[in-house]
Amino acid sequence: MNATHRLNEILSRDCDVATEVLQMCEDFNIDEMLSLNLRLQNELRKRLETSPWEEAVWDCLLPIMNPNEFSEDLLHYLIQNHISLLTLCHMELPDKWLMKLMAYDEAPVYTLAKRYYLSDKYSPVDFFEFYNQYLRNRDDVALHLLDIYGKADKRGLLIFLCSNNEKFKDKEKLQWYRVADKIKGITNSTEIQSIYKEYQTVGIVLAEIATNYFTPNEILLELLSVKGILYANKIRKNSEKTLKLKQFAEPK
């Protein structure tokens, strides 16, 4: 009997649902999503309302349920009554629910920011509005988005917004991202060498230098032994790949 069938069986009986469900979670090695239709969600919610273990049960069940199946009533009930908020905050819920959960944890901010930044569903205008409303005081989130790169249009917009945000404090790091982006299009080895001399301790920049085919071999060889800076492992791997590519591409 899988977890869904077991839960159906529990709800069909006159029993202490909370205790039974917690025991089910302990007994089962649950490796499949739990599917509950609207009727079962409502039944479970009603039978847990008076239990002191209500939150513990939802903390157990929510992570193995499909967020797309959560009913509006269930989410409204849980949030309104402050039940399993942290669990909900770390789930891929629809935007409107994550907006409500922002007040309780920073995870929804990161989730929404990545959606607006990476998904084609949201236009640059959508991202612009999201930034102005939620990220103007969140340098940490903005820098996280720059770390995962993203598409050129929103990335350029994000750098512009941060640059023109008087509240953005880490302008030096923002400049590092600007330089790293610039390196992608440089084909002049002398120019790359000049940037390398200026940014020898900046991992963000070195990681891009290590991927550029036009980076001089002597620099790539130096980067193979980089240690003690951010992205050191990435820099070494990128350098190794670029050297192999150049070796393969060069005529024998």
What value does the mean pLDDT take over residues 95-114?
96
**Tokens encoding 101:** 């959960």
Q: State which amino acid sits at residue 44.
A: L
Q: What is the pLDDT of residues 173-207, one digit of tens each?
A: 999 999 999 999 999 999 999 999 999 999 999 99
Question: 154 in a domain, yes or no?
Answer: no
Residue 125 lies in a domain: no
Does 139 map to a domain? no
The one-character DSSP state at 15 is S
Q: Which of 191, 192, 193, 161 shows the shortest CA–CA distance to 174?
A: 161
H or E stretch at 25: helix 17-27
- Residue % of the chain over a pLDDT of 90: 75
- Number of residues that make up the chain: 252
Q: Please enumerate in sequence order all residues whose Cβ is within 8 A of that of 192, keeping only pairs 6 or more positions apart, or say none.
A: 183, 186, 209, 212, 214, 215, 216, 219
Indicate the angle between helix axes 54-61 and 17-27, nearest 10 degrees: 40
Decide if pLDDT at 134 tops 60. Answer: yes
Q: Is residue 73 part of a domain?
A: yes
Domains: count for the chain: 2
Q: Is 55 inside any structural domain?
A: yes
CA distances from 10 to 44, 57, 126, 224 (A): 10, 13, 45, 59
Cα torsion at 186, 188, 193, 196 (round to 10°)?
Answer: 0
Q: pLDDT, tens digit, for every residue of 8-64? A: 888 888 888 898 888 888 776 655 677 888 888 999 999 999 899 999 999 999 998
Domain end residue (candidates: 77, 93, 109):
93
Show the domain range for 60.
Answer: 49-93
Domain boundary among 93, 128, 147: 93
Which among 163, 167, 193 is positioned nearest to 175, based on CA atoms?
163
Residue 83 inside a domain? The answer is: yes
177 found inside a domain? no
pLDDT for position 17: 87
Task: Using the 3D structure, point to which of 38, 70, 93 is the last residue of a domain.
Answer: 93
- 19 occurs within a structural domain: no
